[in-house]
Amino acid sequence: MAHPLELAYRWQAPAIFASVGAVILLGALSRSDAPGRAPVLAVVLALWLSFMVVVWLRTRASLAVDGDRLTVRRSLRSHVVEASRLVAVRQFLTPNGPSYKLQVRAEDGRLRTHVAPVALLRSGHSTLFQWILAHAPEAELDRGSRRTLDQLRVKGLVL
């Protein structure tokens, strides 16, 4: 199996700033004698922990190509997409840029959707579209996906 693409998402700065802010708030609150400080401490700690979980989940994103099989992982679970089962590609916007929903026909005939989080990965867009063009050219691309493919072609990242 091929190695997954390198993560482009830089998690260190958000984690450090959130942690420093939480430590400062927790320190200031713990030194105060204000009534009701315990629930506020708990809320600050819960917000920091929630943010850190989101940051950690983003670092779990991956995409790997192995011939006609594409392995994608958005957060916890990996999904293998076989090129012969890919039906459509739909672009959606994220804070980091466009990513894609891959509609796949399962063995039972139902459509399943798997997210390819290419906005979080180095060369994710070009790798995904090279795989689609090489192994699943019959897959339907929505307007946003076609526009991205055209931009990649103009830049010379996809043939």
Q: What is the pLDDT of residues 72-112, one digit of tens each?
A: 998 889 999 999 999 999 999 998 899 999 999 999 999 99
* Prediction pTM value: 0.81
Q: 62-155: which CATH topology?
A: PH-domain like (2.30.29)
The pLDDT value recorded for residue 1 is: 53
- Phi, psi for residue 61 in degrees, rounded to 5: -60, 140
Residue 88: strand pairing partners: 103, 140
Residue 16 binned pLDDT confidence (cut-offs 50, 70, 90): very high
Residue 124 binned pLDDT confidence (cut-offs 50, 70, 90): very high
What is the pLDDT averaged over residues 15-36? 92
Residue 51 binned pLDDT confidence (cut-offs 50, 70, 90): very high
Q: What is the distance between the alpha carbons of residues 132 and 104, in angstroms, rounded to a whole number?
A: 13
Give the distance from CA 73 to its chain's centroid.
8
